[in-house]
Structure 1
């Protein structure tokens, strides 16, 4: 169902045919990189967090080799990083774990892109399920993810 929502989302831009569906799982960075035959860092993983003070769900899209740095996260969002609980991800974001992406999500979910992505011309975010992806340029990702702005909340990549 989530993949279908993402296909419909991209169809309005004439881009649904760019979605890649695999016969194998792409639920993790490593599996997605294997399925695509690319370096793991080019997988644009989407991490879901709850901001308690603002009562907001946010998504951070980061490079596959980046790790959220709790200090940087707190400096940016003024509270500690609190990932969504597994059983609430579908309810709050609309996509299951392994397919979480910044497309076809509820309008109140905010999307941020991490600086770790800027070193690539194109990246591969998931498309709503655990065996799909789409190759997007960084400007396309900014546009179609309805990005709030860029953040620097990850380390381990530079």
Structure 2
């Protein structure tokens, strides 16, 4: 799993951004939810950066949100000027990220994806994000997450 193409793509993207890619770790079991990831890592669920892909008027939108809450899609659509915002299908997610639901990383995609980063994550010294497959994760700071994703900080809940 350490050499899975998605994990390698995430490590390469982290390296290119000047972040220690060796921090990408592969857990013993898949963690498909923020609660499962928090338990496996021994951290608060709010420290987990859920990577949610939405279909925003036909274009992908990656929302990196705290595992402690849900995205308010109506508010987010209004705030971002999006006419129709809905959860993406697994096929849409794979098409735009090359990664499966449950393992979507904030970077390492075939091409850049518009990204919003939940401001609720800023309260944590360390955030944990998915590493391209459901068993891979890596630690990162809020500032680094915004920088490496070229993301826009946003209140998403």
Would you say same fold, with TM above 0.5? Answer: yes
Which deviates more from structure 2 when the two are superposed, residues 57-66 or residues 100-109? 100-109
Q: CA deviation at 1:14?
A: 5.5
Provide the secondary structure at the position in 2 that maps to 1:41.
Answer: helix
- 5+ residue gaps, structure 2: none
Provide the secondary structure at the position in 1 that maps to 2:31.
Answer: coil
Q: CA RMSD in A?
A: 1.5
Q: What is the TM-score normalised by the length of structure 2?
A: 0.88
The list of structure 1 runs, each at least 4 consecutive aligned residues, that deviate by more than 3 angstroms after superposition, is: none
Q: CA deviation at 1:108?
A: 4.2
Which residue of the partner structure matches residue 39 of structure 2? Answer: 34
Measured against aligned partners, the alpha-carbon deviations of 1:22-63 in whole angstroms (never above 9, x if no partner) come to: 1111221111111111111110101101111xx421101010
- 5+ residue gaps, structure 1: none
Which deviates more from structure 2 when the two are superposed, residues 40-49 or residues 12-21? 12-21
Distance 2:112 2:105 in 1: 15
Which residue of the partner structure matches residue 60 of structure 2? Answer: 57
Which residue of the partner structure matches residue 74 of structure 2? Answer: 71
Distance 1:116 1:38 in 2: 16
Instruction: State the aligned residue count.
Output: 151
Contact 1:70 1:80 in 2 (8 A): no
